[in-house]
A and B are shown apart, each in its own frame.
Chain A
Amino acid sequence: MHPAFSVIFLTTLIGVGQGLFLAIFTGQSYSAVELLPLEDSVQFYGTGAMIALLFLTAGLIASVFHLGHPERAWRAASRWRTSWLSREVIALPLVMALVLIFGLMHYFGWDTVLFTSKTGARLQLTLIVGTLGAIATFALFLCTGMIYAAIKFLQEWSSPLTVINYLLLGTMSGFTLATAFASYAAPDLTHFFGIWTTIITFAAFLSRSASLIRNARIKFKSSMQTALGIRHTQIQQKSMGFMGGSVNTRDFFHHKTRLFMRSIKWLFLVLVFPLPLFFLWVGMETGNGATLLTAFIIQYIGLLAERWLFFAQANHPQNLYYQTV
């Protein structure tokens, strides 16, 4: 497929936003059962949720550039029964709304303790909103992944690994940002987030590598023979029926060399996994926020390359019909 920048930015930006929100919420859940100290609502939970919202909004804006008629986008919520894209169109604003409410409640201190258990665990109102937000966030990861995994003839995408990768890569980038954010807003949480980031990064590395290996060995079900219905081992296209190209030649192929593809693969493997982990470790040891922020920025750039390859690697069977001018 041709990697469209609007979709690359959409998926990576909302991934960061979702991951950051999950991280903030995890922090609060731990403190509710007193595994972590409770942080300052305004500084940490409130501001953190707003930063997450910023990323989600930026993703939404990027998605608008993908549409031919954004003014009709509201219609896209109507087919949620059959279309994962429609479900995503519902889930994204839902996540944004819940993150906004969660942030505002912390910011303005609209919170009460609903229930305190004998052991001292407190159930706060914000925790309930946060739980709903976390469920919506997971649903959004599922929708985003399924948009791609549901097209069965895009065999590189048609696998549960696609959904798992979206989940893990998004959460990973959000946790990296949370670590950097914590070093400024709540230094005693830096290590907590740093360790989680490391764990999720390893998991993401495993699942993304698994999908790379799977894609390298894929056996395509469609061939020239099934596309034309002619039983012969040698079939060559002599003309695709037009000279100057069309949507079919522009939208479904990346027009890059194999070498370029391979370089992008190694580039993202380095930029997304080992390099940020190194900066993360240095940042955690020295407690330097700028180093942690560098880890996040490097990882985000790596994720752009990762998403580019995700699209470029998918071979659409329609390309069988568009090979020679």
Chain B
Amino acid sequence: MTQLALVIDLNVCVGCHACVTSCKEWNTSGPAGFMSDDNPYGPAPTGTFFNRVQTYEVGEFPNTETVHFPKSCLHCEDPPCVPVCPTGASYKREEDGIVLVDYDKCIGCRYCSWACPYGVREIDEHQKVMKKCTLCVDRIYDESLPEAERKPACVLSCPTSARMFGDVHDPQSAVSIAIREEGGYALMPEWGTKPSNHYLPRRKTRMHIHEDELIRADNPLKKEQREHAAPVEAPTLDDSTSW
């Protein structure tokens, strides 16, 4: 079985919101109709978005770290939002695991948004139907696009390549390898939703320098031998033999 999903690398994301704008641009011009955007330049802009980038501060000054955190529908493998829908408008596709809303069936009762713990379903206040990330289902299979562009708009637009897209059920896919080898994790595992989207944690690249790497010493393999009582600054035996 295929389960398409995103893998988002928090170590790389710089919080530029390029994915947010490209997502809105692609999806508001799509066949499903516009996405609400009220007072975009006013004091209280509001509207429908599939994808949001949030910012968190971890730790206490001065030991803080800023984490930019993109969040969209995680296309859960066991989505609590689907069975609660009274009309069947919310469904999970068999063939690729994408969770979608049929805008022609949705009655706008909001029950599915209550049943998603992640707050990624937003009712469109003009069309009165529930909206959420479609993983750009209208792009990724479009054969009129060059193969390299058959990816979600957010993945293509990310300037730092913090977003990866692929089949998380194929153990050899780039996303599966990244999850496996870079410590990919799921959000709120306590609810058993089994999110398909994964996040890669912040990783620190640290260099360990030991003292004997800074101060020259005799070959440690010969440590048990008796040493010449010589100051360390003086040329050592290695200096004269190891060239």
**Which residues does A use to contact B, with CB under 8 Å?**
1, 66-70, 72-73, 75-79, 82-86, 89, 147, 150-154, 221-222, 226-230, 232, 234-248, 251-252, 316-319, 321-322
How distant is the Cα of A243 from the Cα of B40 in the complex, in angstroms? Answer: 10
Interface centre among B105, B117, B185, B199 (most CB of A within 10 A): B117
How distant is the Cα of A260 from the Cα of B83 in the complex, in angstroms? Answer: 35
Q: Top 8 closest A-B pairs, CB basis?
A: A68-B108, A318-B119, A68-B128, A86-B86, A82-B83, A244-B44, A241-B52, A76-B86
Which of B53-61, B135-143, B150-158 lies on the face that meets chain A? Answer: B53-61
Q: Is the interface of A mostly helix, strand, loop or mixed?
A: loop
How distant is the Cα of A82 from the Cα of B106 in the complex, in angstroms? Answer: 16
Residues of A within 8 A of B188 (CB): 153, 222, 226-227, 317
Q: Are A230 and B201 in contact (CB under 8 A)?
A: yes
Q: How far is the CB of B109 from chain A (nearest CB, A)?
A: 6
Residues of B within 8 A of A84 (CB): 84
Residues of B within 8 A of A69 (CB): 106-108, 128-129
Q: Are B60 and A234 in contact (CB under 8 A)?
A: yes
Interface hits, B96-144 → A, CB 8 Å: 105-111, 113-119, 122-123, 125, 127-129
Q: Are A321 and B87 in contact (CB under 8 A)?
A: no
Q: Does chain A have a CB within 8 A of B14?
A: no
Residues of B within 8 A of A68 (CB): 106-109, 123, 127-129
Q: Are A317 and B67 in contact (CB under 8 A)?
A: no
Q: Which of A66, A79, A221 contacts B190 (CB 8 A)?
A: A221
Q: Are A252 and B119 in contact (CB under 8 A)?
A: yes
How distant is the Cα of A47 from the Cα of B55 in the complex, in angstroms? Answer: 61
How distant is the Cα of A66 from the Cα of B129 in the complex, in angstroms? Answer: 12
Q: How far is the CB of A83 from chain B (nearest CB, A)?
A: 5
Q: Are B59 and A243 in contact (CB under 8 A)?
A: no
Residues of B within 8 A of A154 (CB): 114
Q: How far is the CB of B16 from chain A (nearest CB, A)?
A: 12
**What are 12 A-B interface contacts by the 8 Å CB criterion?**
A68-B106, A68-B123, A69-B128, A75-B107, A222-B188, A241-B53, A241-B55, A243-B44, A247-B123, A316-B119, A318-B117, A318-B118
How distant is the Cα of A202 from the Cα of B196 in the complex, in angstroms? Answer: 48
| Residue in A closest to B118 when the chains form the complex, CB atoms | A318
Q: Are B190 and A226 in contact (CB under 8 A)?
A: yes
Q: Which of A70, A85, A245 contacts B86 (CB 8 A)?
A: A85
| Residue in A closest to B51 when the chains form the complex, CB atoms | A241
Given contacts A68-B127, A229-B187, A247-B48, 9 further A-B contacts (CB under 8 A): A69-B108, A82-B83, A83-B86, A86-B86, A153-B80, A228-B69, A229-B186, A234-B60, A322-B119
How distant is the Cα of A250 from the Cα of B20 in the complex, in angstroms? Answer: 21
Q: Are B105 and A229 in contact (CB under 8 A)?
A: no
Q: Are A226 and B187 in contact (CB under 8 A)?
A: yes
Q: Are B59 and A246 in contact (CB under 8 A)?
A: no
Q: Does chain A have a CB within 8 A of B189?
A: yes
How distant is the Cα of A319 from the Cα of B114 in the complex, in angstroms? Answer: 11
Given contacts A83-B86, A85-B86, A154-B114, contact A245 B44 (CB under 8 A): yes
Interface hits, B23-47 → A, CB 8 Å: 39, 42-47
How distant is the Cα of A247 from the Cα of B42 in the complex, in angstroms? Answer: 17
| Residue in A closest to B42 when the chains form the complex, CB atoms | A244
Q: Which of A75, A150, A235 contacts B57 (CB 8 A)?
A: A235
Q: Does chain A have a CB within 8 A of B161?
A: no
How distant is the Cα of A84 from the Cα of B85 in the complex, in angstroms? Answer: 9
Q: How far is the CB of A238 from chain B (nearest CB, A)?
A: 5
Q: Which of A89, A228, A319 contacts B56 (CB 8 A)?
A: A228
Residues of A within 8 A of B48 (CB): 246-247
Q: Are A79 and B58 in contact (CB under 8 A)?
A: no
Q: Are B56 and A236 in contact (CB under 8 A)?
A: yes
Residues of A within 8 A of B88 (CB): 75, 78-79
Q: Does chain A have a CB within 8 A of B49?
A: yes
Residues of B within 8 A of A244 (CB): 39, 42-46
Q: Are A79 and B87 in contact (CB under 8 A)?
A: yes
Q: Does chain A have a CB within 8 A of B194?
A: no
Residues of A within 8 A of B83 (CB): 79, 82-83
Residues of A within 8 A of B122 (CB): 246-248
Q: How far is the CB of B77 from chain A (nearest CB, A)?
A: 16
Q: Are B47 and A66 in contact (CB under 8 A)?
A: no
Residues of A within 8 A of B84 (CB): 82-85, 150-151
Q: Are A229 and B47 in contact (CB under 8 A)?
A: no
How distant is the Cα of A243 from the Cα of B123 in the complex, in angstroms? Answer: 18
Q: Does chain A have a CB within 8 A of B169?
A: no
How distant is the Cα of A244 from the Cα of B185 in the complex, in angstroms? Answer: 31
Q: Are B44 and A89 in contact (CB under 8 A)?
A: no
